[in-house]
């Protein structure tokens, strides 16, 4: 027959099993959280790639605009026009 101490020990153990998470449940939960975080990271990464492509396009357009503006300002400069006229 079980002693009172052993009965209390068994009851406490059973209560702890009901209240505490087992290692398997913990690992499954952690793995599902990792998967969810990986999915979210992939979505964010795709958005960053999209924004990066837009910035590359914008960078090219801005460089082109600057080049055209410099050429226009150069040819609109009277001193440059006079220099070109003297050369040709």
53-86 pLDDT tens trace? 999 999 999 999 999 999 998 888 888 888 888 8
What string of H, E and C letters represents the secondary structure of 62-74? HHHHHHHHHHHHH
In a domain, 39, yes or no: yes
Supply the pLDDT for residue 1. 64
**How far is Cα 82 from Cα 88, in angstroms, rounded to an integer?**
10
Read off the tokens for 69: 């503006």
Q: What's the mean pLDDT when you consider all of the chain?
A: 91
Read off the tokens for 39: 């999915």
In a domain, 10, yes or no: no
Read off the tokens for 9: 């020990």
Read off the tokens for 3: 């002693």
CB 75 within 8 A of CB 81: yes
Structural domains counted in the chain:
1
Domain that holds residue 48: 22-87
Query: In terms of pTM, does the model score above 0.75?
Result: no
In a domain, 3, yes or no: no
């Amino acid at each position: 027959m079980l002693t009172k101490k052993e009965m209390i020990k068994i009851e406490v153990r059973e209560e702890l099993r009901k209240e505490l998470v087992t290692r398997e449940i913990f690992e499954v939960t952690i793995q599902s959280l990792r998967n969810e975080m990986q999915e979210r990271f992939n979505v964010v990464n795709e958005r960053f790639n999209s924004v990066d492509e837009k910035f590359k396009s914008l960078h090219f357009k801005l460089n082109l605009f600057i080049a055209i503006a410099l050429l226009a300002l150069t040819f609109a400069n009277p001193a440059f026009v006079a220099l070109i006229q003297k050369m040709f």
